[in-house]
């Protein structure tokens, strides 16, 4: 009977992981230009410190952009805050909340809010090849509102789906659309290996509209409107594996005080070539954490470092995370995250 259940778990994981890919083979083979590329920004300091190798980590609401099944690991309720000072004066922030919906621990729901701001820039006019200011300013903004539902199908298999609203604006032009993410997490029960899969930004093409455009297009009903040609969203396929090399549940070396996690992800964006990420996290007594990561084949980001601290109390847990990322010629960034469980 146990062997039968194990085979069923594997079968469900494989089918769930391949349902979108089988529906349209171009999803994982197409390479094209996409819009709203800020959707690929990493939003969790713990994940960033581990090089973005986070698909199989099962990390709660902070892991939703990497894998919607992540919230199926929330014990009761969880909140999350994050802020990043990115390159070129750009900054973005995240606010998230998730909870276990029933005592049986089978259903979970979460909300994840992302906001990006480029900072103010001067409006200029190209007059006879000479740029002059108008005294006005503008900025680029982007928001993504995610609602996620996840379910624990068995003690080893979790699945999740995210629906999200996306909007970005530049001066008097804007784009808004919607998309979906789908993901799964499967504990094999074999030598401590846990696998994760997700596909992000599945949805219709977007296009810019607004008074700042000069070209007209014709909609489906034959009406003229100021808009650009449609462009696809940056769809991403992630496959990840993680293993507890040292720790209380390790199949390699057991320890009550020390834990060492190893995570590896393969990431295939629609508008870029396949690249890999490698991450490690060491923790002592689940209080102090050290992290490092490396991105293989990525065009800008290479290695990253991270630190974390956890404080436990009577019915609550608070965590503070920090990550440093080297973006080569684009300089480096600092990212902070605050997590609390209650």
The alpha carbon of 196 is separated from its chain's Cα centroid by a whole number of angstroms, namely 13
Least confident stretch, 102-111, 132-141, 291-300:
132-141
**212 has a pLDDT exceeding 90:** no
Euclidean distance between CA atoms 99 and 108, whole angstroms: 6
Question: Could you tell me which residue, 3 or 123, shows the higher pLDDT?
Answer: 123
pLDDT category of residue 19 using cuts at 50, 70 and 90: very low
**213 has a pLDDT exceeding 80:** no
**241 has a pLDDT exceeding 90:** yes
**31 has a pLDDT exceeding 50:** no
The alpha carbon of 119 is separated from its chain's Cα centroid by a whole number of angstroms, namely 23
pLDDT category of residue 217 using cuts at 50, 70 and 90: low
Kindly state the average pLDDT of the residues 245-271: 94
Q: Where are the domains of the chain?
A: 2-20+34-341
Class of domain 2-20+34-341 (CATH, top level)? mainly beta
**304 has a pLDDT exceeding 80:** yes
Kindly state the average pLDDT of the residues 10-35: 48
Question: Could you tell me which residue, 199 or 272, shows the higher pLDDT?
Answer: 199
pTM of the model as a whole: 0.84
Question: Could you tell me which residue, 133 or 238, shows the higher pLDDT?
Answer: 238
pLDDT category of residue 225 using cuts at 50, 70 and 90: low
Which pLDDT score is estimated for 150? 97
Kindly state the average pLDDT of the residues 244-256: 95
Euclidean distance between CA atoms 225 and 222, whole angstroms: 10
pLDDT category of residue 208 using cuts at 50, 70 and 90: confident
Q: Which residues of 141-179 are buried (b: 16+ CB within 10 A; e: fewer)?
A: bbbbebebbbebbeebbbbbbbebebbbbbeebebebeb
Which pLDDT score is estimated for 11? 43
Kindly state the average pLDDT of the residues 141-147: 96
Of the candidates 190, 158, 201, 191, the one whose C-alpha atom is nearest the C-alpha of residue 60 is 158
Q: Which alpha helices (H) appear in 86-194, and where do they start and end?
A: none
Q: Which alpha helices (H) appear in the chain, and where do they start and end?
A: 2-23, 26-29, 45-49
DSSP 128: T
Question: Could you tell me which residue, 16 or 35, shows the higher pLDDT?
Answer: 35
């Amino acid at each position: 009977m146990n062997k039968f259940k194990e085979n069923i778990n594997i079968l469900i994981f494989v089918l769930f992981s391949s349902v979108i890919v089988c529906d349209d083979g171009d999803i994982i083979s197409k390479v094209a230009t996409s819009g709203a590329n800020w959707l690929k920004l990493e939003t969790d300091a713990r994940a960033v410190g581990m090089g973005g190798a986070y698909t199989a980590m099962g990390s709660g609401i902070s892991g939703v952009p990497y894998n919607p099944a992540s919230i199926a690991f929330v014990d009761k309720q969880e909140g999350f805050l994050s802020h990043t000072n990115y390159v070129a004066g750009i900054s973005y922030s995240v606010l998230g909340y998730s909870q276990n919906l029933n005592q049986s621990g089978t259903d979970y729901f979460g909300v994840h809010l992302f906001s990006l701001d480029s900072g103010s820039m001067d409006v200029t006019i190209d007059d006879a090849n000479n740029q002059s200011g108008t005294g006005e300013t503008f900025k680029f903004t982007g928001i993504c509102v995610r609602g996620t539902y996840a379910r624990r199908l068995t003690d080893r298999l979790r699945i999740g789906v995210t629906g999200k609203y996306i909007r970005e604006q530049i001066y008097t032009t804007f784009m808004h659309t919607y998309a979906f993410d789908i993901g799964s997490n499967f504990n094999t029960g074999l030598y401590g290996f846990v696998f994760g899969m997700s596909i992000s930004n599945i949805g219709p093409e977007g296009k810019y509209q607004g008074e700042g455009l000069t070209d007209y297009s014709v909609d489906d009903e034959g009406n003229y409107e100021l808009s650009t040609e449609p462009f696809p969203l940056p769809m991403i396929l992630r496959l990840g594996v993680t293993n507890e090399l040292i720790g209380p549940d390790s199949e390699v070396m057991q320890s009550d005080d020390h834990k060492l996690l190893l995570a590896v992800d393969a990431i295939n964006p629609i508008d870029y070539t396949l690249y890999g990420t490698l991450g490690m996290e060491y923790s002592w007594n689940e209080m102090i954490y050290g992290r490092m990561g490396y991105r293989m084949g990525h065009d800008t980001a290479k290695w990253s470092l991270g630190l974390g601290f956890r404080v436990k109390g009577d019915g609550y847990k608070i965590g503070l995370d920090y990550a440093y990322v080297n973006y080569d010629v684009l300089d480096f960034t600092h990212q902070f995250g605050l997590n609390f469980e209650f």
